[in-house]
Chain A
Amino acid sequence: MFDPQQKIHEINRMDHGSARLEAAAQAVRDADDAGLHYWRLYFRYQYIKESTMYGDNFKGLLCFPEYLKIFDEHPELEDDMYHDMMWAFKWVIGNLDDYYQISLEETEHYFEEFKKRSQKYGFSLRTYYMQKVNFWLYLNPELAADDFVRYQKYPRSPNSDCEACELNFQMKVLLSQNQEEKALEIIQPVLRHEKDCAEIPHVTYYHLAAYYFRKKNFSEAAYYAALCERMTGNKPEFLREIGGLLEIYSCLDIGRGWNILKYNAANFANCRNPMMKLRFAQGAYRLFQEISRTIETVSSQPLCALPVELPGTEWSTHELAQFFYQQASEIARKLDQCNQKEYYLPLLNQPLPECSPEAVVLETAHSVHGIVKKEQTALLLLLKQNLSPDELEQRIQKSEKISCYRDKNSCYVSFQAENILLDLILKADSEMPPTEHFTIQGMTPDALRDLLDSPGRCLIVSELSGLPQKSFYAVIQYLSGIFPEMNGFVNLTAQKAFPAEWVRFAVRYENAIAPEDLYSVYFARDPEKNEIWGTTIGLCAWGLRELELIGANTENFELFAGILDQTAAFCIERNSLPDENECIIPCRNAAGKESEICWQQPETALKAISPESFAVSVKRAVPSGILNLLDLPDLQTTVLPVSRSDRRRIARLAEETFPVLVKAMEKTAEKAVVQLALPCEDNDEYDFELLWAEPLPGGQKAVLIEESELLPQYHEGDEVKIVPEAVFDWRIQRTDTESWISPQKAYLLQEDAS
């Protein structure tokens, strides 16, 4: 018997994608068999939605006419269902231009019907005109321009896109009309991260990259392409934007293009949306056309998912260019036929703007953006004994991976973790390069020396992508799996050393990895001038400029060091450096005066201070950004805000590692304190207050060591119950060093326990 409730739960428990789509299709069939019209409509709507948002939107398109027919046949359900129907209708007309299977007459009929129904249900025509502009924007710009004017006259309607999508739409239209200034003005809320959604700013960055590429402003094109690449990852729903990036990279950086192409080859092979396929094939064709000028063949392994029959394990780049051209031209021809206009095929055959390597200027000092070309992360794994290349290969073979091959000295491995594809190059028996390491907190100089004296070494080189903390976690999780006996490792790029105990701890508690673990800060002093210069080391691994600090001296050094450290942590956490002079951290002094911490280019910054005071400089592969803090008000009392997400991370880690503290308390009489969130029951402004308390043996209760006006019912010395979820932070004192251990360093307690 058909049980809609059970079906609803079943579908909603599934992850989005093909399985869920199939479950929705089954529910549609069951509802049809049961003849329950309400549920026939409900599950069809779910099916259309799932196929539009998370899968093959052609399926949704095919289902829609039937959905509309049932809706019209049952006016008794109209009141309950018209809102859903208008949303489904919008999705369908939004995707019409993707398919050559839908004729222009059918498209026009759909638009008319949508308009009629929008009016019937009192929806404004804003959405109707928006979708029309989207359809005609490149095929008939004049018509699109007229409709864009009409679109702007109508207020938002119940089935309007979100505000971020609408801003992106307006920017796209204005860019197509070469109104760059107006487009940039409109899109500011998106670029400032004030408005976003599942697609925005990803798609926005793509449109800007494509616009600047067309205008031969390659510096800006490369910048927005790099941002887009970070956001879209290798997700199949962004195949069209990824194809656009391939086209841009075919001129600007074929190495990056190749990297993106190989990870998306399978997405292309599985895609059934003609427009997405066309965009990707067009980009891949351009890319291989460029590659084939200098490289004759590429390995077939990363491209094995492609529906192409070529001989051997090395494929001709020329033939691959031909393959993608055929794929693209076939779809382009069909789309042009359907639209009764020559547009896509001529576009495919149109030459791209010429671009010399010198024009690719991400690295130049003229770029105002914080993004630079990523440097590879080099990790030196320290082992109990050396491994031969054969032994190394054997271990990797046993691990879970996507692909692996080796040459004489190195193994190349690709694996997927946390939805990120990572490439590693592992070299056995590597030499220790000369470097100055900084320990992570809590590691003694002796322990560091012992670690560096480990007899075995293996160098791992990789360009990491995705969110820094997650990506770093994925790598160390993989490495700890294949090298469980490791003594630790050194991050040569960030100049940081990590002992084995920390690795085990970080693998167990994902929240253990702090932004600070991914870079170091380095300071040098010029005693003659009482100047201290500081720099970060390691941001370059994430494609960010290193930050330099100027204007510090022995009096204000502590505050400046903290600012540099926290600024770097903020940038790592959000995985981007804002543009020059754009605020990274707003701060204020005790009097409440607000100021902003920004970075400046070296030349700009140097104008602000006397050149003589800039005492120290280093050679870098990429330019740095300068933090000039001289104009911060009242430096001694500057208050920096704490990153909310980092506070949450520490709170989660404190909760997870609280049992470690309790266990450590059993073994020692060392002083421990725990920060608890206690609810403010009668306070409208604050939900809870954080108070420090001394936990009692067993970790079930604690005695308060402070009190607050917000919690008049609690006093110092009161006993409170410890609820794990309410633990926000903790500390325990180490008697030998008299230092305090926090959740970040809980691995030191585990070490003591073992």
Chain B
Amino acid sequence: MQFKDLESEEYGFYLLARGEPRLKRIREAIAEADQRHLLAWQFRFRYDYLEESIFCGDRYFAMIIFPEMLSLYEKHESLRQDARTTHDMLFCFKWIVEAAPEFPQISKQEIDSYFRLFKKMLLEHGKSLSIYYMKHCLFYLHVDKAIAAADFYRFLEEPLDDISDGKALYYDQQAMYYLTIGEEEKALEAAKLIFAGKLKSNALPQATYHDFIRYYLEKEQYPHAVHYAFLTERRVVCDPYYLDIIGTLMSLYSLTKIPDGLRLFSIHYELYLHSKNPMLKMLFAIGAYHLFRVIEEEKYHELLEQMRVARDDALLKQPPSRIAEFFYHTAEEAVQKFDARNGTDDFSHMLHLLDDKFSTPEKE
């Protein structure tokens, strides 16, 4: 296969459906490039694979391919000297430091070492540390809030550059952070341009809306949360990338619109089963638990039956309380792993967020 063939090969990836079909084809291309020792393509196809894995929602594959990519880059001077390859490497690093915390099996020490290496590489290549502080802040929000605060203000001071996530995510990050420290007004100000449609990205405005939904859910300001949920739902349905948002919507709907919650669950249950991302699965499971524990079989019998007909699944045939119990234990298991890794109880708090509204399965 000549160079041009490989290029058209790469183009062909994008004609395939996202997710597994595309990943499978790229895996074959990697094997071929490896076999023929085509270094540039070995790296490039791995980049394609990692990118696809990051954005199709299953970051698991990205975590597997990244060490191979890093090893290639570090081993070969020609790759390090190439500006485009270095740029790609930094981009992959950016995705990985965001994705790594989503896997509880990756220890805090490992994640910290990824961050250190990422920082070092950014500095070596004369890049701004804006993206480093942003991602470090995101991780440390669940680990050490003081370090996250320090990161946040450093992130604001650093200039944006070609590795940064762009203006839209710059403001989204600010909105998210201000909400976590209860500064709603500042968050609204930061999100102003995103809400007005003047700034956007692949994940925005839905990710910003999600931040506000979570905030209002915690503050028990449900009408506000429902307003943002209305704006969010159509942008996130059927996308495995947004299983976390679906989880939050189910939590909200358990208090406000149970039929809509059931509908969302029914649509996304299949995606949940196939996802390999522990964080997204946990957040979906928390939402499902919140939803099913308030569903009464008699009241929602018709909807439950529709769901059972659509999905031939042993779990769904169970009464709602049993389904709730299943998701509670699934979520609890993941929550314990994440919280143990992070040394905090953030996710446990999330699991028990609505406890004062209803009793937990254990108490029953």
Chain B contacts for A4, CB-based, 8 A: 146, 149-150
Q: Is the CB of A8 within 8 A of B146?
A: yes
Q: Which residue of A lies closest to B154 (CB)?
A: A84
Q: Does A79 contact B (CB under 8 A)?
A: yes
- Please give the distance in Å from A52's CB to the nearest CB on chain B: 14
Which among B126, B148, B196 is the interface contact of A158 at CB below 8 angstroms? B126
Q: Which residue of A lies closest to B126 (CB)?
A: A156
Q: How many A-B residue pairs have CB under 8 A?
A: 54
Q: Is the CB of A83 within 8 A of B119?
A: yes
Stretch in B14-22, B40-48, B197-205, B333-341 with 4+ CB within 8 Å of A: B197-205
Q: Does B145 contact A (CB under 8 A)?
A: yes
Q: Is the CB of A122 within 8 A of B145?
A: no
A4 to B153, CA, bound (A): 13
Within 8 A of A (CB), among B232-251: none
A679 to B181, CA, bound (A): 29
Q: Which residue of A lies closest to B119 (CB)?
A: A83
Q: Is the CB of A679 within 8 A of B126?
A: no
Instruction: Say whether, besides A8-B149, A9-B149, A156-B126, A687 and B119 are in contact (CB < 8 Å).
Output: no
Q: Which residue of A lies closest to B199 (CB)?
A: A687
Q: Is the CB of A688 within 8 A of B126?
A: no
Q: Which residue of B lies closest to A2 (CB)?
A: B146
B interface footprint on A28-39 (CB within 8 Å = 1, 0 otherwise): 000000000011
A8 to B196, CA, bound (A): 31
Q: Which residue of A lies closest to B197 (CB)?
A: A679
Q: Does B123 contact A (CB under 8 A)?
A: yes
A678 to B195, CA, bound (A): 11
A interface footprint on B247-262 (CB within 8 Å = 1, 0 otherwise): 0000000000000000
Chain B contacts for A3, CB-based, 8 A: 146
Instruction: Say whether, besides A9-B181, A83-B119, A158-B126, A677 and B146 are in contact (CB < 8 Å).
Output: no
Q: Is the CB of A726 within 8 A of B197?
A: yes
Which among A8, A678, A725 is the interface contact of B150 at CB below 8 angstroms? A8
Instruction: Say whether, besides A42-B150, A122-B124, A156-B126, A687 and B116 are in contact (CB < 8 Å).
Output: no
A interface footprint on B111-134 (CB within 8 Å = 1, 0 otherwise): 000001001000110100100000
Chain A contacts for B150, CB-based, 8 A: 4, 8, 42
Q: Is the CB of B195 within 8 A of A725?
A: yes
Chain B contacts for A681, CB-based, 8 A: 197, 200
A723 to B191, CA, bound (A): 14
Instruction: Say whether, besides A5-B146, A8-B153, A677 and B123 are in contact (CB < 8 Å).
Output: no
Q: Does A12 contact B (CB under 8 A)?
A: yes
Which among A5, A9, A122, A677 is the interface contact of B196 at CB below 8 angstroms? A677
- Please give the distance in Å from A629's CB to the nearest CB on chain B: 35
Q: Does B276 contact A (CB under 8 A)?
A: no
Chain B contacts for A687, CB-based, 8 A: 197-200
Instruction: Say whether, besides A5-B145, A8-B153, A83 and B196 are in contact (CB < 8 Å).
Output: no
A210 to B354, CA, bound (A): 69
Within 8 A of A (CB), among B203-218: none
Q: Does B87 contact A (CB under 8 A)?
A: no
Q: Does B352 contact A (CB under 8 A)?
A: no
Q: Which residue of B lies closest to A680 (CB)?
A: B197
The number of chain B residues touching the other chain, given as a range, is 20 to 34
Chain A contacts for B181, CB-based, 8 A: 9
Within 8 A of A (CB), among B159-181: 181
Q: Is the CB of A679 within 8 A of B200?
A: yes
Instruction: Say whether, besides A79-B116, A679-B200, A725 and B146 are in contact (CB < 8 Å).
Output: no
A590 to B148, CA, bound (A): 53
A688 to B198, CA, bound (A): 6
Chain B contacts for A158, CB-based, 8 A: 123-124, 126
A83 to B192, CA, bound (A): 34
A181 to B200, CA, bound (A): 46
A3 to B116, CA, bound (A): 25
Q: Which residue of A lies closest to B193 (CB)?
A: A725
A3 to B150, CA, bound (A): 12
A393 to B114, CA, bound (A): 69
Which among B116, B153, B198, B200 is the interface contact of A677 at CB below 8 angstroms? B198
Chain B contacts for A5, CB-based, 8 A: 145-146, 148-149
Chain B contacts for A677, CB-based, 8 A: 196-198
Chain B contacts for A679, CB-based, 8 A: 196-198, 200
Chain A contacts for B153, CB-based, 8 A: 8, 12
Chain B contacts for A12, CB-based, 8 A: 153
A331 to B198, CA, bound (A): 55
* Contacts A83-B129, A679-B197, A681-B197 supplied; 13 other A-B pairs, CB < 8 Å: A4-B149, A9-B149, A9-B181, A12-B153, A80-B116, A678-B197, A679-B196, A679-B198, A679-B200, A687-B197, A687-B200, A725-B193, A725-B196
Subset of 7 A-B contacts with CB under 8 Å: A5-B148, A9-B149, A12-B153, A677-B196, A678-B197, A723-B196, A725-B192
The 9 closest A-B pairs by CB, nearest first: A679-B197, A4-B146, A158-B123, A5-B146, A725-B196, A8-B149, A688-B197, A5-B149, A12-B153
